[in-house]
Amino acid sequence: MTKLKHYQAIKGLILFQNKILVLEKEDFIGGRYEVPGGRKDELNESDESTLKREVKEEVDLEIKIKKLLNIWSLDLPQKGIHLDGKTYLCEALSDKVKLSEEHISFKWVTKEELRKLDVPDWLKEAISKI
């Protein structure tokens, strides 16, 4: 059995005027849509600085982090990694998204629309808490 590399992932469920930002990624495991965020670069990097950095890199937005929604864990043997993740509720200061090359599209959706999209289980759980 191959040992999986462990990483910490910090994701942001970002709201702007009652809409939630979702990103489409072609090779995303667990669904077709996700929310911005990513892995911590260093062990001593805070959740807040990780999330703000990743959101800036992926969608070029400034955010306010409101609260922790959920903590989750995910094995991705096909990529050789294990993720320990957290999802935070955030508020965007604008809706002017500038998408990085990491994703193929984005959209702002209502909570009801988001529930109908193909998203990973950890995101379904986070949605249920807002």
d(CA 102, CA 27): 10
CATH number for the domain harbouring residue 115:
3.90.79.10
Task: Find out whether 19 and 111 touch, Cβ atoms under 8 Å.
Answer: no
Give the domain range for residue 38: 5-127
Q: How many domains does the chain have?
A: 1
Residue 46 is given by DSSP the state: -
Q: pLDDT for 15-57, tens place per residue?
A: 999 999 999 987 766 678 999 999 998 778 999 999 999 999 9
**Model confidence pLDDT, tens digit, residues 49-96:** 999 999 999 999 999 999 999 999 999 888 899 999 999 999 999 999
Token couple for 101? 């090359």
Contact 16, 104 (CB under 8 A): no
pTM above 0.85, yes or no: yes
